[in-house]
């Protein structure tokens, strides 16, 4: 779009997308075409699919100006989800800000497993579930949305993240079944609280791996939600140690992990006298993703 004022050829939606895709590819974007489409749809105030029936349309100057600003910030590294303020997860749209981790498709496996287990647990009373390190609230909201007979406690150490999670719960109509708790893991909960299911997508990137993350992750997403310390298990170790005290007998603990520390997490659970290690679930790439345990 740099030559926008010097060319006679109109800047149609189709041309804007083509130019921007090439530009972002040159800046090292992993998905330049998708980025271009999401940003232009946001600037135009429409759904991305609507762009495909409007390739010949020439957007108004205000739209092009907004789009140029978004593309410029994306080229400098800002994640698309932060630029447009939302990300889809489990077929729902979630507000995201730099205070929360951007939900990943891989985490949907954790939600699927939690929902499967919840449906297997027959209970007249609402099933009590804890989402530790809720961030944007994506996991808690999806479970409450797809499994009505439950009450979810969503815990996060960041008050700013909890504000985002509350708004997402309200947006999707499940706020009345989610209790939001500010605290470091279970530290602010009563010892009488017991859950049938505790799940978490905790920080699991090792300090060494942090340096090798893609710049748009390393430089923009909250390190509090990413950095798991020297081995990537600093938070997980504390969570495993605390969990038995908040799990009912036979209740489940589900942890999303990284491929490089899954075995270490399995070993930590195996060493805990109150937990029984279950089969670790692999993601679509065949990598270990969800470590499971049951309270003995």
Q: Which parts are annotated binding residues for S-adenosyl-L-methionine? A: 133-137, 156, 201
Please tell me the distance from the alpha carbon of residue 232 to that of residue 241, in angstroms, as a whole number: 16
Contact 2, 26 (CB under 8 A): no
For residue 20, give both structure tokens.
């921007």
In the annotated binding site, the residues are: 133-137, 156, 201-204
Give strand ranges (E) for the chain: 86-89, 92-95, 127-132, 150-156, 178-182, 195-200, 247-256, 275-277, 281-282, 288-295
Phi and psi torsions of 43, nearest 5°: -65, -35
Please tell me the distance from the alpha carbon of residue 46 to that of residue 138, in angstroms, as a whole number: 23
Cα→Cα distances 289→7, 201, 284, Å:
51, 10, 9
Please tell me the distance from the alpha carbon of residue 114 to that of residue 197, in angstroms, as a whole number: 8
For residue 90, give both structure tokens.
């489990």
**Could you write out the DSSP letters of every residue in 159-227?**
HHHHHHHHHHHHHTT-GGGEEEEESSTTTTS-TT--EEEEEE----B-HHHHHHS-HHHHTTS-GGGTB
Tell which residue, 67, 106, 59, has the closest CA to residue 83. Answer: 67
Tell which residue, 115, 111, 186, 202, has the closest CA to residue 153. Answer: 186
In the annotated binding site for substrate, the residues are: 201-204
Phi and psi torsions of 273, nearest 5°: -70, -15
């Amino acid at each position: 779009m740099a030559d926008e004022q010097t060319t006679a050829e109109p800047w149609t939606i189709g041309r804007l997308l083509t130019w921007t895709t090439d530009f972002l590819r040159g800046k090292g974007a992993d998905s330049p075409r998708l980025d271009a489409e999401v940003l232009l749809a946001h600037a135009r105030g429409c759904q991305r699919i609507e762009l495909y029936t409007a390739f010949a349309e020439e957007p108004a100057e205000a739209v092009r100006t907004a789009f140029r600003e978004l593309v410029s910030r994306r080229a400098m590294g800002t994640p698309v989800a932060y630029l447009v303020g939302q990300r889809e997860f489990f077929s729902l749209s979630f507000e995201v800000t730099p205070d929360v981790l951007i939900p990943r498709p891989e985490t949907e496996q954790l939600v699927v497993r939690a929902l499967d287990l919840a449906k297997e647990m027959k209970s007249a009373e609402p099933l009590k579930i804890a989402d530790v390190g809720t961030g944007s609230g994506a996991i808690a909201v999806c479970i409450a949305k797809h499994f009505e007979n439950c009450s979810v406690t969503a815990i996060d150490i960041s008050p700013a993240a909890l504000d985002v999670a509350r708004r997402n719960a309200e947006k999707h109509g499940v706020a009345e079944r989610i209790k939001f708790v500010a605290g470091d893991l279970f530290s602010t909960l009563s010892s009488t609280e017991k859950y049938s299911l505790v799940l978490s997508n905790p920080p699991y990137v090792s300090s060494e791996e942090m340096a090798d993350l893609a710049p748009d992750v390393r430089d923009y997403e909250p390190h509090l939600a990413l950095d798991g310390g020297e081995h990537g298990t600093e938070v997980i170790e504390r969570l495993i140690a605390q969990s038995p005290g908040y799990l009912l007998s036979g209740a489940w603990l589900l942890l999303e992990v990284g491929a490089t520390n899954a075995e270490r997490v399995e070993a930590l659970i195996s060493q805990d006298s109150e937990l029984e290690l279950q089969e670790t679930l692999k993601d679509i790439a065949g990598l270990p993703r969800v470590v499971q345990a049951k309270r003995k």
